[in-house]
Amino acid sequence: MALTLYVDTARWRDHHHQVREQFPGIVPVCKGNGYGFGHERLAEEAIRFGSDILAVGTTYEAARIKDWFSGDLLVLTPFRRGEEPVPLPDRVIRSVSSVDGVHGLVGARVVIEVMSSMKRHGVSEEDLPKLHAAIEDVRLEGFAIHLPLDRTDGTDAVEEVIAWMDRLRAHRLPLHTMFVSHLKSSELARLQQQFPQTRFRARIGTRLWLGDEEATEYRGAVLDVTQVSKGDRFGYRQQKAAGDGYLVVVAGGTSHGVGLESPKALHGVMPRAKGVARAGLATVNRNLSPFVWAGKQRWFAEPPHMQVSILFVPADAPAPQVGDELVAHLRHTTTQYDRVVER
């Protein structure tokens, strides 16, 4: 009995094809836990659709993936002097976000990141005059810009890229390739039309691998079902049952990532109100689980255990049976499943 990731493989791959059609020259991204599929699987898929390059998060990921993918590997985390050296083949391309970083990679293949409105990292406009001499000692694969997901100030993503293209061109820096992130296909087409001599390559991870939510589904197997009455004590902390119903033990606990949740940016009154309500319920040990039964997301009876969760299903709902599977709404990037079933 397991926490299982079910994949509609044909539908999943059809989505890959659609994204690749929208973004010619796409650079698939495989970082973290491989968006829930694992590095080896995504490397296989990138080979399957003929990608010449795969972007990874760190040098450590590049060291692992190099044996599964024979094309170029683009490391997205910028190089820093003093970082731990990791043996990597010549086909690995390093991102650099400072002039000092370029000087520290003599002879290497590099992509130079420019500072976008993300304000995370990147060379500034003031750095550009210093780049001429620096790039003579490296093999420049292009420039890159990482754009924000939301633009609440109403600014135009394309205009931001154009502004950087103009700056780079004004300083007579080579513009044969520009790697971009978080652009729509229509925006990418606008840029390609305006700068026909530059090849724009979109680095895409989430939209490529997880863009069709119906192609994948997590389910946890029911391991045990125990009927309880209101007031019965149960669990590690011997809490009292809030009402008549069933304690349902389902595969999927903290070791799988169940119960883990990353902070969310809330926009608008209603989402904020719901967030306050959830926080209030948590103070009285009422936490909604990711598991669904009989059309409703069910409450944790107590905090999830390492490999299982215990849910409370009220008596007015049908009782699950051992062996049933409950759909689970889980984040791919934080979930460790027991098995994959291809359909």
pLDDT at site 154: 85
Task: Provide the CB-side half-sphere exposure for 74 (13 A, CA).
Answer: 28
List average pLDDT for each run of 10 residues in the chain, which is 343 residues long: 96 98 97 96 97 98 97 98 95 97 97 96 96 94 96 91 97 97 97 97 98 98 97 92 96 93 54 40 64 97 95 96 97 95 92
Cα dihedral 106, 110, 114, 115 in deg (nearest 10): -80
Q: How far apart are CA 180 and CA 170, in angstroms?
A: 20
- Terminal Cα-to-Cα distance of the chain (whole angstroms): 18
Tell me whether strands 245-251 and 308-314 are parallel, antiparallel or unpaired: antiparallel
Cβ neighbours of residue 21 closer than 8 Å, sequence gap 6 or more: none
Cα dihedral 79, 85, 90, 93 in deg (nearest 10): -20
Which residues does residue 256 pair with via DSSP β-bridges, in sequence order?
Answer: none
Q: How far apart are CA 29 and CA 39, in angstroms?
A: 10
pLDDT at site 286: 61
Distances (CA, A) of 41 to 31, 77, 124, 340: 12, 22, 37, 11
Cα radius of gyration rounded to whole Å, the chain: 24
Q: What kind of architecture, by CATH, is found in domain 216-342?
A: Beta Barrel (2.40)
pLDDT at site 260: 74
pLDDT at site 287: 87
Fold of 9-211: TIM Barrel (3.20.20)
- Which residues make up the CATH 2.40.37.10 domain(s) of the chain? 216-342
- Which residues make up the CATH 3.20.20.10 domain(s) of the chain? 9-211
Residue 132: which H helix or E strand, with range? Answer: helix 128-135
pTM: 0.90
Cβ neighbours of residue 131 closer than 8 Å, sequence gap 6 or more: 99, 102, 112, 123, 171, 173
Count Cβ atoms within 10 A of the Cβ of residue 184 and give its class: 0-12 exposed, 13-18 middle, 19 or more buried: middle
Q: How far apart are CA 54 and CA 56, in angstroms?
A: 7
pLDDT at site 281: 36
pLDDT at site 297: 96
pLDDT at site 266: 45
Tell me whether strands 139-146 and 109-114 are parallel, antiparallel or unpaired: parallel
